[in-house]
Each structure stands twice: as structure tokens, then as C-alpha cells.
Amino acid sequence: MNNFKKIFSIALITIVFFISGKLTAQKYEGLALTPPMGWNSWNKFACDIDETLIKEIADAIVESGMKDAGYIYVNLDDCWHGERDSLGFIHPDPERFPSGMKALADYIHSKGLKIGIYSCAGYKTCGGRPGSRGYEYQDALTYAKWGIDYLKYDWCNTEGLCAEGAYMTIRDAIRSAGRPMVLSICEWGDNQPWEWGKDVGHLWRTTGDITNCFDCFVDHGTWKSWGVTYILDMQEGLRQYAGPGHWNDPDMLEVGNGMSVNEDRAHFSMWCMLAAPLIAGNDIRNMSKETLEILTNKEAIAVDQDPLGIQGFKYSSEDSVEIWFKPLVNDEWAFCILNRNETDKEFVFDWQKEKVIDELFDKKLDTQNKTYRLRDLWKHEFVGTTDEPLKAVVPSHDVLMLRLVK
Ligand code: GLA
């Protein structure tokens, strides 16, 4: 072989390897252009799940109007597992899921919904069930055969593992199994997933677990779970990493799980301002009118699901009253006052005097040359314009959430 042929062959082989590497080692794109929306079993039911519950939840998602509002994924969390067979294939718990996962997936798909499942990068899940370590490709293949659309992948029992590598392995396993699945990275922000998650998964948890309280945390000894305001504060500095297809995940919703209505409303509003995945975590078969109204507030959801995909930012904070902004398509903005105090607060905001600039995403709110109408996203009515200062009383642990409409 002459030199030219040698160089040509080497170049060709390199290109082929590069292209095939790219094809097998990429996450499925286009699955989460806006933050994923759905339901997950963990916050309310923990390990107490079975196929009857999951089917009833799927029915309720459709009948309650949640599907119409955008909640599409029905996600099983930990504890669906039975044992691995002699060939290493994982099976669901035969008593709790006697019809098998394929049948459950078919049922959920027949309702026009999608199904999510849970596994863990370690030998065992956090609930002590079989994890995927050493079985990544086999498990991804099994999920693909069952018809799974979404995988939440946890981080218990992973001593000695490199997080980025472990999540790349399951990403590659999903790709080679051939079925598009949203990959939800759940390592609690321990290894800065915002720095490497974009090419690996579609969302990454930024914190430890949420708990159903507004302003407290629960100490479990070796770990803590966090109330809404604690989780909110932990999002500082992360917005630059989020965007269409790759989201910061401040954990699933606790709406309808015991907080007061105004706290639930504030929690939901702030998750919308954060462009967070909206994964309900309550018993939606038996929810109050108020809970349903919060979860299906289409005007608030439109803020979360805005196609620009820009995570909102805290503009100011004084006396535990925070002002948040989120740039939206078409030069519109979402605005939210969060009152973290135990008492109601009066508030004045003069649009003509404030300078609202989002330097990271190069956006500027121009109230000098434009008049925006102020749409109250909870009252569902217009409440003024940016020509006049906004005067409001925001109840304790509640929000005033507006859309600045052109
Ligand atoms: C971890 C996760 C939770 C949940 C449980 C299940 O704590 O962060 O969201 O999945 O495991 O055991």
C-alpha cells in the first residue's frame, strides 16, 4: 500500500469510528424540549405501589383534566422490582404487578400517556431492590421491550463509582436498546450534574429529596429532606445550565400532600418560575378542588413550559419578600412576588424605576417604550399595566404571579 492509500484508509477508519461512536453514545434528543410533566409514585406512596394503583392513577390523570393540562408521564418510582432470573433479567414484583410491566405499559399507552420506571446506578436501589450496576445494557433492553418511555436513575449504593461515567453508561445502554427514553439523572446534585448532564440526560436533580413542608427540613440521621424554601435557595447559580432538552430538577411536587393551599400555590408558582419539571406527587384519585386547580393552572403551566426554556431568576430579596422574573417568548415576562414571612406583606413595584436585565440570556424588560398589561395568573384577570406602579398585599407563604403581556 502506498502512503496515500495508507493515510486515506486510516482517515476513513477514524471517520467511521467517530460517526458510529457519535451514533451510539448520544442521548435521545428532542424528548424534553420543555420541562417534562407527569406524576411519580414516590412522594405519596413510597414503596406501597402496585398495578391497580398505577392504573387508577392513569385513569385519574385523564379524567381530572391533568392530561389535558400537559401531565403525560406516569412514573413508577422505587420498589416495583421483583428478582432477577437465572439469566439476569429483572422482573417486577409478581404479587404487586401480576400482569407484568408490558401489560401495564400497554394500558398507560392506551390512555395516550407515557410510562416511566426507576432504577439505580448502584447494586441496590435506595429501597434495597436490585439496582442496575453490571446489568445496565440488559436492563435498558428489558425496559425497551416493556415499552418504557422515561427512566429515573438513582444514586444509592454507588461507592467508588464515577457519577458522570455511570450515567453515560446507562445513556449509552438506552441508546443501544433502541427505544427513546427520557433520562432523569438523580444523584442529588452531589457531583455537579449541571456541569456534565446536558449531553447525558434530560434533567438532573439539583438537591436531596423534597419533603412536604414549606419552610423546614427533616433530619433522617445520615441525610436530610428539604422543604420548599430550602430547595429554592439551593437553585442559586444554576440557571445558566438549563435550557430546552436539559433541565435543573429541584425534585417532584408536594402539591396536595399536606401544605396549606397558599403554600402549595407558592410552591407550584416557583417551580414554574424555575422551568422545573412538573412531576405531581400526590394521590390524584382523591384530590381537593384547590389541589386540582393549582396543578392544572394552564396560565402558570405556560410559564413553566415556555418554549424559550429560560429558567427564572431572583431579582431582589428584602425582608423575606422575593421578586422573581422569567423571560418568555415574544418579549413577554413572568413576574412573581414570593412572601416567605409568617405575616402578610404590602408591596409596591414601580415598573418605570426598576431596571430588569437578564445578563445571562441577554434580555431586558423595556417598560419605558412599551406598555405591558399585567395578567394575574391565579385570579385569571388583568390587574393593571406597567405604566402605573403595582401595589399589592401578598399573603403569608403565598405569591402574586403575573404575566407581562404585550
Ligand atoms: C432517593 C430519590 C427519591 C426516591 C427514593 C426511592 O431518595 O432521591 O426521589 O426515588 O430514592 O428510594
| Ligand 1 binding pocket includes 42 (Cβ within 6 Å) | yes
From residue 153, alpha-carbon distances to 140, 150, 256, 274, 282 in Å are 11, 10, 25, 22, 21
Among 3.20.20.70, 1.10.3720.10, 3.40.50.1820, 3.40.50.300, what is the CATH number of 27-304? 3.20.20.70
Can you give the pLDDT at residue 15? Answer: 57
By CB atoms closer than 10 A (0-12, 13-18, 19+), residue 222 is exposed
**Binding site membership of 139 for ligand 1 (Cβ less than 6 Å):** no
CA–CA gap between residue 28 and residue 361 (Å, rounded): 25
CA nearest to 100, candidates 134, 62, 56, 143: 143
Q: pLDDT tens for residues 42-61?
A: 999 999 999 999 999 999 99
| 78 CB near ligand 1 (under 6 Å) | yes
Tell me the DSSP string of 124-158.
Answer: B-TTSSB--TT-HHHHHHHHHHHT--EEEEE-SS-
Domain boundaries, the chain: 27-304, 313-405
**Which of 124, 153, 186 maximizes ligand 1 atoms within 8 Å of its Cβ, making it the mutation to test the pocket?**
186
* Domain 313-405 in the same topology as domain 27-304: no
165 forms bridges with which residues in the sheet?
none
> In this structure, which amino acid lies at residue 362?
D
Q: Confirm or reject: Cβ of 153 under 6 Å from ligand 1.
A: no
Interatomic CA distance for residues 345 and 321, integer angstroms: 8
Question: One digit per residue, pLDDT tens: the chain, 406 residues?
Answer: 566 666 666 566 555 545 555 555 799 999 999 999 999 999 999 999 999 999 999 999 999 999 999 999 999 999 999 999 999 999 999 999 999 999 999 999 999 999 999 999 999 999 999 999 999 999 999 999 999 999 999 999 999 999 999 999 999 999 999 999 999 999 999 999 999 999 999 999 999 999 999 999 999 999 999 999 999 999 999 999 999 999 999 999 999 999 999 999 999 999 999 999 999 999 999 999 999 999 999 999 999 999 999 999 999 999 999 999 999 999 999 999 999 999 999 999 999 999 999 999 999 999 999 999 999 999 999 999 999 999 999 999 999 999 999 9
Q: 77 in ligand 1 pocket by Cβ < 6 Å?
A: yes
Instruction: Assess contact for 299 and 377: CB atoms under 8 A.
Output: yes
Q: Does the CB atom of residue 126 touch ligand 1 within 6 A?
A: yes
Tell me how far CA of residue 273 lies from CA of 254, 300, 335, 365, in angstroms: 16, 9, 8, 16
Q: Which amino acids are annotated catalytic?
A: 154, 209
Q: Is 59 exposed, middle or buried (0-12, 13-18, 19+ CB in 10 A)?
A: middle
CA distances from 303 to 40, 52, 201, 214, 359 (A): 22, 34, 23, 22, 20
**Closest listed residue to residue 245, CA positions, set 276, 195, 202, 274:** 202
Q: In degrees rounded to 5, what are phi and psi of residue 265? A: -65, -40
Closest residue (by CA) to atom 5 of ligand 1?
126
| Non-local CB neighbours of 359 within 8 Å, separated by 6+ positions | none
Length in residues, the chain: 406
Q: What is the pLDDT of residues 281-325, one digit of tens each?
A: 999 999 999 999 999 999 999 999 999 999 999 999 999 999 999
Q: How far is the CA of 340 from the centre of ligand 1 (A)?
A: 27
Report how far residue 332's alpha carbon sits from residue 154's, in angstroms, rounded to the nearest whole number. Answer: 37
CA distance 272 to 282: 18
Write the CATH number of the domain with boundaries 313-405.
2.60.40.1180
pLDDT of residue 221: 97
Ligand 1 centroid from CA 164, angstroms:
19
pTM, two decimal places: 0.94
Between the CA of 214 and the centroid of ligand 1 the distance, in Å, is 20
CA of 168 relative to ligand 1 center, distance in Å: 20
